[in-house]
Amino acid sequence: MSITRRGFLAALAAPPASLTDTVLVHEHVLVDFTSGKAPYDEAEVFAIARPHLDAVKKLGVRRFLDCSPNFIGRNPKLLARLADATGLEIWTNTGLYAARNHQFLPDYAKTETAAQLARRWTMEYRQGVDGVKPRFLKIGVNDGPLGALDKKIVEAAALCSRETGLAIQSHTGNGIAAWEQVEIVTRAKVSASKFVWVHAYREKNHEFHEKVARAGGWVQFDGVDAKSMAWHLECVRFLQGKGLLGRTMISQDAGYYKPGQPRGGAFRPYTLLLTDLVPKLDPAWVEVLLKKNPVEAYGA
Ligand SMILES: [Zn+2]
């Protein structure tokens, strides 16, 4: 029996990674940095975003976590319409965003206690927002060491997570802030596995990545674009080398329609991660990064 050269080479090559049932854990349809000061045409956002969502659905993506928080363009009704039209599961969130020096916080966030804020978010989870149930918490903090207001937002998220079981995606600038949040969350008797360090790629010191992952937190390298792809690969390989791939997620922070700009400005497609990064990864890693971990972190 002779083995053809072609057959031999095919046997050597790793099977192509399957993208069926993958999850994009950090993307945006719409981000409104004007906080409602620039009204937008929902039909236009729908028409612009839809083909980009169709494109990832076609590649096998099952679920898309929309990470735009309340007061920065969260629009559950629009997301529900896009989900219906595309067949994608699109998840929205509850919580408040304290990053960018608190400019997107409503006044009540400054005066209410962590427990009061947590109650508001738990209520949104139980009753839904415009008919849509938030499926995760999305907060944001400034760089560490964290100030009192930032700490309060994190504590509120922990209290809400304890009540609802929701995971906490926290927009985080640096490793110091990430570690402080792990401490706040665990002090509130919430497992570190409920904490997701959003934008972990912005921290250049791998020691923080390892420390948070070892403590049981999720380390999310979610800024994949053409320029940052090599660094994202390096981050993933680092944690894999430490035996911590099971604490690692990847996404793109792509999109999104920006009110106040003509036709929402430049829209970054959601496909690059799937078409350009995935082929550079071992298929077994893709299973963990884009399927197993997102379900373990955020729920089935
Ligand atoms: Zn984002």
Entry pTM: 0.94
Q: 68 CA distance to ligand 1 centroid (A)?
A: 7
Q: 90 CA distance to ligand 1 centroid (A)?
A: 15
Q: What is the pLDDT of residue 4?
A: 57
Q: What is the mean pLDDT of residues 30-53?
A: 96
Q: 73, exposed or middle or buried, with CB in 10 Å at 0-12, 13-18, 19+?
A: buried
Q: How many CB atoms lie within 10 A of CB 137?
A: 28
Band the pLDDT of 9: cuts 50, 70, 90: low
Q: What is the pLDDT of residue 173?
A: 86
Query: In the 8-state DSSP scheme, what is residue 146?
Result: P
Q: How many CB atoms lie within 10 A of CB 286?
A: 22
Protein fold of 18-298: TIM Barrel (3.20.20)
Q: 150 CA distance to ligand 1 centroid (A)?
A: 18
Q: 67 CA distance to ligand 1 centroid (A)?
A: 6
What are the DSSP calls for 84-108, one per residue? HHH--EEE-EE--B-TTTTTT--TH
Q: 15 CA distance to ligand 1 centroid (A)?
A: 32
Contacts of 171 (CB under 8 A, 6+ apart): 97, 99, 138, 139, 140, 141, 198, 199
| H or E element at residue 60 | none
Q: 17 CA distance to ligand 1 centroid (A)?
A: 26
Band the pLDDT of 15: cuts 50, 70, 90: low
Q: What is the pLDDT of residue 1?
A: 44
Report pLDDT digits (tens) over 67-90: 999 999 999 999 999 999 999 999
Residue ranges covered by each domain of the chain: 18-298
Amino acid identity at 135: R
Rg (CA), the chain: 19
